[in-house]
Amino acid sequence: MKHHANAELQKGRERSVARGMGSTMTGFAHSAAGTTLIDSDGKRFLDFASGISVNNLGHGHPDVVAAIHRQVDLLINSGGPVMMPDVYVELCERLCALAPVPKPARALLLNSGAEAVENAVKVVRAATGRPAIISFQNSFHGRTLMAMSLTGKVHPYKQNFGPYATEVYQAAYPYAYHDQTADASLEALAALFASQVPPDRVAGVIVEPVQGEGGFVVPPDDFLPRLARLLHELDIPLIADEIQTGLGRSGEMFAVNHWGVEPDLVLLAKSLGGGLPLAAVVGRAELMDAPAPGGLGGTFGGNPVACAAALAVLEVIERDGICARARHVGETAIQHMRLMQERHDCIGDVRGIGAMTAMELVHNRSSREPAPELAIAVLREAHSRGLALLRAGLYDNVIRLLMPLTISDDELSKGLEILEQSVESATAAEPATLTRRQHVR
C-alpha cells in the first residue's frame, strides 16, 4: 500500500470525505503502538485521547492482537443471523456473568454504541409495552435517530437533522460545578412525571453513570442509588449507558459499581472490541427475551474477530489489575491538574473518577463563564507539542484526559507536563485571539 504524506491526504480529504465528518486533530493517523500515535508525516503523539476511550489497553496490545490473528485464520464472518459464531456465545456468557445486572441475564452483540442504545430502547419498549424514554440533559448517546434524539446537546450532534424521534423526554443531570444538585435533578424528574409523561407510559430511563461528552460530570454519591430506587418503585427499567465509562475507565469494571447500583440493562461498546467495532446490550433475561426471534440482530453484529478481541480484552483487564491501574493514573492526573488550578484562574473545576479526568476552562473562577475558545487554543498547543487531546462539555470548554490505562508513570508525567505547558502558552496569548462568546449559565 502506497504511503501518503499529510498534505496529500488533506487534499484527498477535501476532495472525497464528507464535510460533516470532523476531526479534532490535523494530520492523519498512520500507525500506533502502546501509548504512541504516529501520523503520516512520522510525527509522534502521546495519546491522551485513546480513540475516545476505545484503546483503554493502548494501541496493539499483544494479547489482543494475537487473539485477532488466531480468529482471522478460523472464521472472519458467518453472519449471526445465518449461523451464530461460537465466540459470539462465548462472549455473551462472559458478559452475562460479569455485568452488574439482575440474574439470569442475556446479551446481544452489535457494532457500535449507537446501535446498543437503539436496541436497548427496542428491548424495553417490547418488554413493557410503553412508548416513552427519558434521558438527561447534557448527555450523549450517539448519532443515529433515537440515540441522537436522546442526546442532550444540540451542537454539533443534532444540527438540522430533525424531526427527532417522538416520546423522548429529558430531565436535568446533577452538575456540582454549576449548582445542579441531586435533589434538584430528582425533583425535575418528578415534575416531568407530573407535567409531561406519567410513569406508566415510560418504557425506560437511560443514564450515563458519569457523563462523557458532557464533560466528565461525576454525579453526587446519592444520585444513582436514589434514581435506581425510584425507578424500581415505579417499575421503570434503568438503562446504564457504560459505553465510555465501562471496562475499567472509571477505576471499576463498570462505573455503576462505585455506587452499588444494579441497572436492568447495561450498554457497552468503545473499548470492548480492543479497537474493533463491537457493542453489547446486557440485561435482565425477562426484558432481553421480550422481542421475538428476528427482532434483534444485524449482519455484522458480533463479528467473530471482534468477539475474540473482546474476550482477550476482558482477560487482560482482570489479569493485569487494569482497574487498580486506572485509579492510580486518575489520582496522579487529578493531583497534577489541581496544582495547575492553583496557578491558573482559567481552570474553574478539576474533576473525575478513575482515569476519566477533566478540567473545565472558564474566563475566571469568579464568573465561571465558559471559555471554549481557550479550550481550542489549549488543544492546538498540545497537538503542536505532540499530545493527542480532546475537549468536551455542553459549551466545549472542558479538557478531558483519556490516556490508555496501561500508560507508564513516565509517559503520564510527560503528558501532564505538556498539558500544563499548553495551558500556559494558550493563556499567554493575546486576548484578541480568544474571541469571547456569550453563554447562558
Rounded to 5 degrees, φ, ψ at 157 are -75, -30
At residue 366, the 3 state secondary structure works out as coil
113 burial via Cβ count (<10 Å: 0-12, 13-18, 19+)? buried
Cα 400–chain centre separation: 11
User: Each residue of 369-387: pLDDT tens digit?
Assistant: 999 999 999 999 999 999 9
CA–CA gap between residue 103 and residue 92 (Å, rounded): 13
Whole-number pLDDT of residue 436 = 45
User: Each residue of 56-110: pLDDT tens digit?
Assistant: 999 999 999 999 999 999 999 999 999 999 999 999 999 999 999 999 999 999 9
Whole-number pLDDT of residue 431 = 58
Whether pLDDT at 430 is above 60: no
- Structure-derived torsion over alpha carbons of residues 102, 307, 84, 243, reported in degrees to the nearest 10: 50
User: Each residue of 295-332: pLDDT tens digit?
Assistant: 999 999 999 999 999 999 999 999 999 999 999 999 99
Whether pLDDT at 10 is above 80: yes
Cα 60–chain centre separation: 20
Rama region for 297: left / alpha / beta (φ>0; ψ in -120 to 50; rest): left
User: Each residue of 16-71: pLDDT tens digit?
Assistant: 999 999 999 999 999 999 999 999 999 999 999 999 999 999 999 999 999 999 99
Closest CA to 356 of 270, 245, 266: 245
* Domains parsed from the chain with CATH numbers: 6-60+321-433 (3.90.1150.10), 75-319 (3.40.640.10)
In the block, residue with C-alpha cell 425506560 = 204
Average pLDDT over the chain, rounded to whole?
96
User: Each residue of 100-149: pLDDT tens digit?
Assistant: 999 999 999 999 999 999 999 999 999 999 999 999 999 999 999 999 99
